[in-house]
Amino acid sequence: MRWALVGIAALACSYLLVKPTFTSTPSPPQPWGLWVSTDTEATGERPTAEPDWLLTLKIEAPTNCNEPATVVGSLEWRPKEVTDVTDIKEPKRLLIAIAGVRVLHAEVDRVASIDPASPNELAWRAEPLLLQEGEYLMQSPVTHWTVSQVTAKFRLKLLAARAAGFDSCYVASPAVASNGEGVGGREQAWTNVGENVTSYVEAHHLSDNLERPLALDAVVQMSVPHEEPDRAALDAGAHVQRKRAILACTTHERAPPREIEDQYYDYLTHLTERFCSSVQTFRAPNASVKLIERSFLSAILVTGSVTLLLQALMGNSIIPPPERPGSRRVPLRRNSRNSNRQP
């Protein structure tokens, strides 16, 4: 009975070792959208002068992707020409809308700072989130948001990562809102974010400029501790740099080539444009080696457990019982013709 229990325990251990190979690969997280706008407006003799904007997003998922991911965003602006500085009003307010994902926490550094900034210099302040029709809206004042690498920063905690199997993770990047057919194209489920932003701006008596998403360039960096991007599964033209997946996109309207006159060019371009939306797969560098080791150890345990169970069923003991003191072993007689002969 004792060896039967040991065999059952060995079978259980072997199953736990190979369990990751039997589980199906989870589905990747759903795409999500990000809306960014400010109260910037052109003044002076050139009312059409608008600055260039650069949005940098750093998305880091926790190990094994069992916790919310952290998104740190930096937004900076520069004039198209040096003479445009006096024609651009310094932005003083930032509006962010998130759709298609659950947001747990949002923070903003209300004082713009030079990028990169020391973590000790950042004064994060929690901002309330308004949930409206499945979309989160947040706005905050930002001071000293001048030109020349001075950035406004925000930080989000959201469910944009998910386990993708043994020592693997899915990490989703957002589709940045554009001035076209909504956030990320017609096929997305959260194209009504613009209507919700308009209602939010009007209800809070904010600047009308906040109702339009910025035309900007964006750089997205995604990483997972102790894991690397799967180069065979890179999505949306991402590149790998120092164990991070890098994406670059723009929400500026693209004019058709001069030799092409197509009335549907804008429609087709916007329909297929990803606007940095992607789902990247990260894996531990030695994940495949660990699976092979687990399978090998599991095979050894299965062999040993089967042997123990068979011995237990047959009533035999693998290890002979110890001899009692004073007892002697009786030799076995051979079954031969001369065994009954007298000398």
Tell me, what's the pLDDT at 189? 46
SS3 content of the chain, % helix, strand, coil (to 5): 25, 30, 45
Q: What is the pLDDT of residue 78?
A: 85
Tokens of 308: 């123990």
Give the tokens for residue 183: 């956030």
Question: Tokens representing 293?
Answer: 């080791």
In angstroms, the CA 93 to CA 98 distance is 17
- The three-point CA angle 197-235-293 to 5° equals 125
pTM: 0.76
The residue ranges of every structural domain in the chain are 2-20+289-314, 31-252+261-282
In 61-129 the beta strands, taken as DSSP E runs, fall at: 69-78, 93-99, 103-114, 124-126
In angstroms, the CA 337 to CA 169 distance is 77
The whole-angstrom separation of Cα 60 and Cα 155 is 11
Q: Report mean pLDDT in 10-residue bins for the chain, 343 residues.
A: 70 66 74 89 56 93 90 90 69 92 94 72 88 89 84 94 88 82 46 81 89 90 94 90 92 71 68 81 77 66 71 62 59 53 50
